[in-house]
Structure 1
Amino acid sequence: MPVADYETYCEMLDRARAGRFAYPAINVSSLTTANAVLKGLAEARCDGIIQVSTGGGAFASGTAVKEMALGAISIAEHLHRAAQRYPIYVALHTDHCQADKLEAFVLPLVVETERRRAAGQPNLFNSHMFDGSALPLAENLEIAARLLERFKASDLILEIEAGVVGGEEDGIRAEASARLYTTPEDTLEVARRLNGIGARYLLAATFGNVHGVYKPGAVKLRPEVLKECQEAVVARYGETARFHLVFHGGSGSELHEIHEALDYGVVKMNIDTDTQYAFTRPIAAHMFTHYDGVLKVDGEVGDKKAYDPRTYLALAEAGMAERVKRAVTELRGAGTTLFGSQEGR
């Protein structure tokens, strides 16, 4: 069952932290982009995380509907079927969801998982992110604690953010004054509020991360912030409190910064901008190369094979899959799949 169950997902995360590698978490918004991630992960022999954002879910539901939960459910149901054909595990996750969108996005998906479990079916998603980074930390953690209590009953993993990731994603832009570096005091409070619940969670601690992609030198990452936060929580609460960390805004980061973050406990790195470009670039090349086929120039009829969406979307899928494979290599994950090692478990 290549969509990971709870035990498999937990084992994935623990192995990644112990082995100092991370899983690429790729945002998708269609069946084609979802298939591209499966292809890339399988060819790299690495498990991974496929995620849907509020904007991606709205897009997947169709421009006439724009219902974020519906689109996310549609993509997840496809992945539950399609992933069975690939020799890897994938975990299904939802990306940034602010407090004002919980009722429209995350909570309907949790209800769907609860319904499925009552019917003896597997969870729809494995984990969900609540992004309360725009709120005061106390309010952020109050909402996170309520969610984690509910998630615990359904073997769902929660991802939270302490600190703010800069830049813009899905129309949400961080304020210029945003605090881009999580402090040890922040993470001590996270552990104090959440660890007693006895449920799994992931922490996106920020160290200068910025959504999007920028020229070298434009983004000032400080991975040592993660080391300081881990040391603080271990000193206060013990080794079992060490975080499983998430690296947001991974597109365009320097390789040495990525590897340093992995050494400090990052197990999941979000990649969206780079894979969007990898998907679109082959389409642009096809259009420029076959412009007289995709357009009916000077009254001609064009070339059906050139303007058939399957032609250029297949190229896009292949291009995105290659970028996923590169991400796996950069995250030290090639050949690490758990698939096939758990027979008889």
Structure 2
Amino acid sequence: MPLATLKQVLDEAKKGKYAVGAYNINNMEQLQGIVNAAAQTKSPLIIQASRGAIKYTEMNYLVHLIKAATELHPEIPIVLHLDHGDNLETVKKCVEAGFTSVMIDASHHSFEENVRITKEVVDYAHQFGVSVEAELGTLGGVEEDITGTVKLTDPDQAKLFVEQTGVDCLAVAIGTSHGAYKFKAEPVLATDLIPTIYEKTQKPLVMHGSSSVPQDILAQINKFGGQMPAAQGVPIAPLQKAIEGGVAKINVDTDSRMCMTGTIRQIFHEQPTKFDPREYLGPAREATTKMIAERMQAFKTAGHAGDYKVLSLEEAKKQYYGL
């Protein structure tokens, strides 16, 4: 099966009133854990790579790992998505490498400049059938080199932004933050904005900064030598409410990082003679599968892998963009 486009996957999610998790990867075991969860739950899947992940893996390794996943699991629609692209040149490199979806994040610019940069990316990517995500409003926290303070998305601006750029989906700011230290107490999110933004834009919406920072995994990390005091994420209940309001893509990165780290720390502590990477990366992969499968169930993605025929980029270019 060819790699799917984000537009097709999110349009199907919008129809089915579920969300597709977008899971960041940095190595083979992380990818395998996530793909195995999708195979177990029969879920469509969005694999994300940040600019940092692309630099770490080197582009060719990453792309060929994804292609291997599609060959091993042709029954699972898989999107390869650039997370937080910073300019057109980054987007071009990813499209040329085989990505089927890109995000351009110009949310830190003025509204007018955000529109200009996003429209430039949309015009380029759509001619290849590649989907485009953009962001309006800003999130808090830190993710790699992305730092921000919360500025909620304005629904009327969102309507204008979508009309002027032609994006396929829109990342909105409702009070979430990047990283493991999102909140100091139980979060209060502006989830009431979501149905209003969806009604005005009629586009699938995206939530960034949506890892839940599972407290059992946090306790495991800290018990076996880690130092992550007071880390707190987004509970599952607000994410499910957001899905009901129009969110179709939910980004999860911190949770899988923590899952692998907790497992590896425990093995190093309890079995200090271990030195074969397979003996700690293998269990970390299995723990990732279990945790991601739980997210797929919670997001109601499970069981939807076979709902549609995946379009090739050439087919998507014709059907969605008339090119």
Q: Provide TM-score, normalisation by structure 2.
A: 0.84
Unaligned residue ranges in structure 2 (runs of 5+): 213-233, 316-323
Superposed CA deviations along residues 60-81 of structure 1, whole A, max 9, x for unmatched, are 1xxxxxxxxxx23421222112
Identify if the C-alpha distance between structure 1 residues 170 and 218 changes in structure 2 by more than 3 Å, giving closer, same or farther. Answer: farther
Give yes or no for the alignment of 1:108 onto 2:88: no
1:148 aligns with 2:122: yes
Compared CA separation, residues 59 and 90, structure 1 to 2 (3 A): same
In structure 2, what is the equivalent of residue 243 of structure 1? 203
Q: Secondary structure at the match of 2:84?
A: coil
Aligned to 1:163: 137
* Structure index of larger Rg: 1
Q: 1:231: how far off?
A: 2.7
Q: Cα RMSD between the aligned structures?
A: 2.1
Q: Residue 216 of structure 1: CA displacement?
A: 7.4
Q: Which amino acid aligns with 2:12?
A: R
* Matched pairs, number: 289
Cα distance in 2 for partners of 1:2, 1:45 equals 17
Percentage identity across paired residues of the two chains = 26
Secondary structure in structure 2 of the residue aligned to 1:134:
coil
2:59 is aligned with 1:92: no
Q: Which residue of 1 aligns with 2:49?
A: 52
Give the superposition deviation at 1:95.
0.4
1:331 has 2:299 as partner:
yes
Equivalent of 1:222, from 190, 194, 203? 190
Answer yes or no: is the 8 Å Cα contact 2:39–2:76 preserved in 1. yes
- State how far apart, in whole Å, the 2-side matches of 1:319 and 1:309 are: 15
Asked if the contact 1:2/1:88 (under 8 Å) is kept, the reply is no
2:308 is aligned with 1:308: no
Instruction: Write the deviation string for residues 138-190 of structure 1: whole angstroms up to 9, x where unpaired.
Output: 10110111111111110000110000011110132114xx41x1011221221
Q: Which of these residues, 251, 255, 277, is aligned with residue 258 of structure 2?
A: 277
Distance in 2 separating the partners of 1:2 and 1:32: 22
AA paired with 1:129? Answer: M
Residue 28 of structure 1 is matched in structure 2 by 25
Q: Which runs of 4+ in 1 moved over 6 A?
A: none
| Match of residue 258, structure 1, among 225, 235, 239 | 239
Q: Which runs of 5+ in 1 are unaligned?
A: 61-70, 114-123, 234-241, 294-305
- 1:152–1:215 CA distance, 2 compared to 1 (3 A): closer
Q: Which amino acid aligns with 1:109?
A: C
Per the normalisation by structure 1, the TM-score is: 0.79
Q: Tell me if the contact between 1:210 and 1:219 (Cα under 8 Å) persists in the aligned partners.
A: no
Distance 1:312 1:29 in 2: 16
Higher relative contact order (CA 8 A, sep 6+): 2
User: For the Cα contact (< 8 Å) 1:38–1:83, is it kept in 2?
Assistant: no
- Residue 165 (structure 2) aligns with: 194
Q: Please state how far the C-alpha of 1:206 moved relative to its aligned partner.
A: 1.0
Cα distance in structure 1, aligned partners of 2:131 and 2:303 = 25
Match of 2:175 in 1: 208
* Contact 1:255–1:330 under 8 Å retained in 2: yes
CA displacement 1:278-309 (0-9 Å, x = unmatched):
11111111100112x1xxxxxxxxxxxx2111
- Does the 8 Å contact 2:30/2:256 carry over to 1? no
Whole-angstrom CA distance in 1 between matches of 2:238 and 2:266: 32
For 2:299, give the aligned amino acid.
Answer: L
Give how far 1:212 is off: 2.2
Structure 2 match to 1:298:
none
In the other structure, the counterpart of 1:290 is 271
